[in-house]
Amino acid sequence: MPKIIMPKNKTGNSKFLKMYNEAVILDMIRLHGALSKSELSRITGLSPTAAGMIASGLLEKGYLQERGEGESSGGRKPVLLELAPRSYYSVGVDMDVGCIRAVLMDITGALVCELTRPMPDPPLFEEAEAIVRDMVAGVLDEHSVAKDRLLGIGISVPGIVDMETGRIVLAPNLGWENVNFGICMGQPPGIPVFVENEAMSSAICENWVGSCKGINNFVCINIKSGVGSGIFADGRLYRGAGGSAGEVGHIAVDENGPRCGCGNYGCLETLVSSSRIVEKARKLAKQGASPGLSALQDIGEIDLDMLVKASKEGDEAAKAILIESARYLGIAVSYIVNTLNPSKVVIGKDFTRYADVVIDYLRSIVYCKALKTHASKVEIVSSPIGDRASALGAAIIPLKALFGK
C-alpha cells in the first residue's frame, strides 16, 4: 500500500481519502481480476456501503465495467466488476539508437497499438523530439483518444534522467546532455509527461505485466546499443543516492578489454553490446573465418539477425561470438547475484534474439561463479516481452498513479 500523507484541512482530507480508496479498489481489481462489491469490501477492509459507493463511482466514470455474475453464497448472484478495456489510456515512448517506438496502452495494461520510426542519424534532440510529438499524436488519433481519457505520457531514454524535472542528464549513446523532454513535450497541454531510464522502464514493465509480477527482488538487464539494468529491491524500484543505480554496463569483466566511453577498460558494455557483437561478426566475415557470414555479399551490412541465423545454421565461428558474450555477461550476472541476491534476473531487448543459443551456457557460468546459496535461488530468463519492454514500461508509469503506486 502507498504511504498515506494526510492533508491538514478537512475538505482536502475527504477528497484525498476518496482518491486513495478509489486507487485501492482499482488496484485490487487489477491484481485479482473481476470482483463483486462484497468481495471488494472483504479484501480492502472498507465497509460494504463504502466499497459499494466507491465502486459505483468508478463504474460511472468508466474505469470499471460489469461482467457477468459471480458465485452466490445463498442469495442473489452478485455482479462482478472489472477494469474497462479501452476506457482510459496512456502513451509510452522508447527512444534508442536506431529506433523510436511509441505504444498506446489501456488501463488494463493491454497494448492497443504501436508505431516505430527510425531515430534520426545523427540523433539530433530537436529532430527526435518532433518525431515523438508526431508519433504520440499518431497513436492517439488512430484510436480517437479524447484528452480527458489520456492519463499521461511516459518516455524512456538510454541514460541518466532526473525524474523530478524530466531532464535527461546524460544519454551518451544518443549524444544528449542536459536536455528536457518533460517541459518541451507538454502536448496535448495539461497531460503529465514522465521521463525514465530505459532499463528501469523495462523493470517496471516486467513487474506490471511481464515475467516478474508479484516478485519483489529482481534485476532486469537490457542489452542493445548499451547495457543497463533496472533493480527491484523489496518490491520497489531501487534508484540509489543519485537516481542512477543499475549501471551494470560498466562492471569491468576483463581488465585487458577495450577502452570504454567511461574511461575504464573491459566494461561489460564494450564486450556484449549489440554494436560490439556485430563489429566482431563483420571482422570474422572479412577474415573468411565464418562460412555463413563470409559468403554474404555485403559484409559491411551484416547485422545481429544475420549472425544469429548463421549460428543457428551450425556456423561454429558465428556461434562462438555469441557464446563469448554470454561468458562475459555470466561473469557480470554472478557479481549482481552475489551482491543483490535477487530471485530472478531477466535479460531483455536484443538478448532475446539469441537467448535460445546461449542461455543454458550463461546459466552455467553464473551457477559456477556465484555463491551456491545465491545461485541456487535465482532464476535466469530471457524477457518474454523483448524489444517492447521499455516502451510498455514507460506507458505504465502514468497508470501507476491511478492505482496508488
The smaller minimum CB distance to Zn ion, of residues 302 and 332, is found at 332
Which residues in 268-295 are b (16+ Cβ under 10 Å) and which e? Answer: bbbbbbbbbbbebbbebbeeeebebbbe
Q: Site residues (CB under 5 A) for Zn ion?
A: 250, 260, 262, 264, 267
Minimum CB distance to Zn ion smaller for 35 or for 97: 97
Do residues 156 and 94 touch, judged by C-beta distance below 8 A? yes
Nearest residue (CB) to Zn ion, 251 versus 389 = 251
Task: Find the shortest distance in angstroms from Cβ 267 to Zn ion.
Answer: 3
Min dist CB 174 to Zn ion, Å, is 17
Choice between 224 and 250, CB closer to Zn ion: 250
- Per-residue buried b or exposed e for 388-403, using 16+ beta carbons within 10 Å of the residue's own CB: bbbbbbbbbbbbbbbb
Least Å from the CB of residue 260 to Zn ion:
3
Residue 228 or 292: the one with the smaller Cβ distance to Zn ion is: 228
DSSP string across 363-389: HHHHHHHS-HHHHTT-EEEE-SSGGGH
Which residue, 189 or 263, is less far from Zn ion as judged by CB? 263
Least Å distance, CB 255 to Zn ion, is: 12
Whether the link from the prior residue into 384 is cis, omega within 30° of 0, is: no
DSSP string, 292-336: HHHTSS-GGG--HHHHHHHHHTT-HHHHHHHHHHHHHHHHHHHHH
Is the separation of the CB atoms in 393 and 359 below 8 Å? no
CB of 265 to Zn ion, least distance (A): 8
Identify the residue whose cell numbers are 524535472. 165
Supply the minimum distance, in Å, between the C-beta of residue 120 and Zn ion. 26
Could you tell me if 347 and 380 are in contact, meaning their C-beta atoms sit under 8 angstroms apart? Answer: yes
